[in-house]
Structure 1
Amino acid sequence: MHRDVESSRLRISRRRALALGGTLTLSGVLAACGGANTDVAPAAPTTAVASDIEPRLLALLDDAPRCTMAVEETQGPYWFDVDSIRRDLREDRPGLQMDLALRVQDARNCAPGAGAPGVANAVVEVWHCDAGGVYSGYEADSVAANSGTPSIGSPSSIITMSDGSYSLDDGQIPTTDDGTYLRGAQVTDANGIAQFTTIFPGWYTGRTVHIHLKVHIDRRTVLTTQLYVDDALSDGVFAGVAPYDAHPGRDTRNGTDVIFHDTGLMATVREPDRILAAINLGLDV
């Protein structure tokens, strides 16, 4: 269904979600818009309680590695506090739809064969570039970075990590435009799962394809990291899907990226009109 961008931005703030102590629910406040194919039944997902997360994504989560502790990685220079709880991040950005599921898990209590329990009411925040390698809020700077002349530092130069605190604008470089596309947050449900609808990220000079992520629990930032996809998937998208094919010359792959870590590699499935991606994020909570 159509969603007005301004209404989406004004629904519920991330800080309010944290202040309410996790009383928001995805089913009531954060209902998703449609657009997913449902013609093939997936394997039955293993969830503790009923969930509004798409069954195909639940099945992909269940097949993804569990009991693996997520690795802290730099937030990079393009984060800012967009402070918006919303599932659909696309706004006006063209690109191949990506439906993304993330499960926050208590890795300390992981049981063999059963996995780790999900962490409910965590706020999961994601942001990434568009199909041309451009970030909202920093369009001029990210265009310059693609030309090899970044003006606000390299993507690895901002090393803000999760130190247990949570404060407004922590590590934020002032934005240069008012864009908010491909940024937002969700509250995990009773099974510890959050779902987003976005587009497949593009690439920019010096970096492999990636999605930035933070997890906040009880007003504390407990994880800052980056997520990745298999190079073969990226190759297929960039070679044959518009508008990605208008941005040739990718110069960095997973194996040559100085930040890449395989614990952030997402499980993915490519469908004709979209990509499904899922990952379990093990935390010491």
Structure 2
Amino acid sequence: MITVTIGGECLMIDTPTRRVVLGAGVFAAGSLFAIDSSVAQAPLAPTPACQDGDEVTLRQTEGPYFKPSSPERVELLEAGMAGQPIELVGFVLTRACKPIAGALLDFWQADDKGRYDNSGFRLRGHQFTDAEGRYRLRSIVPGLYPGRTRHIHVKVQPRDGSVLTTQLYFPGESKNRADGLFRKELLVRTAKNEGLLAGRFDFVVG
């Protein structure tokens, strides 16, 4: 069970057999996953229901810019960094909709100009899901570069499990249809309020 606060009312929610809607304080108050109060006024649409035997999240190429040994951190957003701030949250789940604690997530992306840092680790970092299978990433919406729509790369690996490599996309982007790698199943659910973009995506791994 997890405790969430919605509209000032504390509720108990079972560890998700459905993917939980991100809304007002959807994660436990004071936890790693509490988001800015401004976002609480703009709840997100629910992600698709997770059902026993659900298909795993689609795999995609890692591309040419992956670098191993990124720093462990949830904050890729740095002071003075240009771009639209985003807080991306969600769960890592089994095909039976059970949360996976301690799963590794390694994120990397372009900056607001569509450039990757290949000499250092700017906008690169890894983290582990908490005891409830949750992750949180604070970053910026990546910029465009020729041939690609906006996307964030990620590798997800449960303990002693195989690696899922994929990419996350953003709704409403004009370049989505022209990008041969784009898949609607990998769209992040988003809501924006007071300058911060809130995002939600749950990974299902085999």
| TM-score above 0.5, yes or no | yes
Partner of 1:201: 142
Pick the aligned partner of 2:151 from 210, 225, 232.
210
Specify whether residues 60 and 119 from structure 1 end up closer, same or farther in structure 2 by C-alpha distance, changes over 3 A only: farther
Pick the aligned partner of 1:121 from 68, 79, 102.
102
Separation in structure 1 between the aligned mates of residue 126 and residue 202 of structure 2, nearest angstrom? 17
SS class of match (1:263)? helix
Partner of 2:189: 267
SS class of match (2:72)? coil
Separation in structure 2 between the aligned mates of residue 45 and residue 61 of structure 1, nearest angstrom? 19
Quote the sequence identity (%): 31
Q: CA deviation at 1:102?
A: 2.8
- State the TM-score, normalizing by the size of structure 2: 0.76
1:64 to 2:50 alignment:
no
Which residues in structure 2 correspond to 1:37-116 (within 5 Å)?
46=13, 48=15, 51-54=31-34, 63-67=46-50, 68-91=55-78, 93-107=81-95, 109=96, 116=97
Specify whether residues 197 and 41 from structure 1 end up closer, same or farther in structure 2 by C-alpha distance, changes over 3 A only: farther
Separation in structure 2 between the aligned mates of residue 194 and residue 254 of structure 1, nearest angstrom? 26
Contact 1:213–1:225 (Cα < 8 Å) also in 2: yes
Specify whether residues 126 and 41 from structure 1 end up closer, same or farther in structure 2 by C-alpha distance, changes over 3 A only: farther
User: Which digits, 9 at most, give the CA deviation of each residue in 1:190-222, with x for residues without a partner?
Assistant: 221110110111111000111001012225542
Higher strand share: 2
Contact 1:123–1:215 (Cα < 8 Å) also in 2: yes
Q: How many residues are paired up?
A: 179
Structure 1 residue ranges without an equivalent (≥5): 1-39, 110-115, 138-176, 236-252
Specify whether residues 127 and 61 from structure 1 end up closer, same or farther in structure 2 by C-alpha distance, changes over 3 A only: farther
Pick the aligned partner of 2:127 from 159, 182, 186.
186
SS class of match (1:254)? coil
Separation in structure 1 between the aligned mates of residue 9 and residue 67 of structure 2, nearest angstrom? 37
- State the TM-score, normalizing by the size of structure 1: 0.56
Contact 1:66–1:280 (Cα < 8 Å) also in 2: no
Contact 2:44–2:191 (Cα < 8 Å) also in 1: no
Contact 2:71–2:121 (Cα < 8 Å) also in 1: no
Structure 2 residue ranges without an equivalent (≥5): 1-6, 16-26
Separation in structure 2 between the aligned mates of residue 42 and residue 63 of structure 1, nearest angstrom? 20
Higher helix share: 1
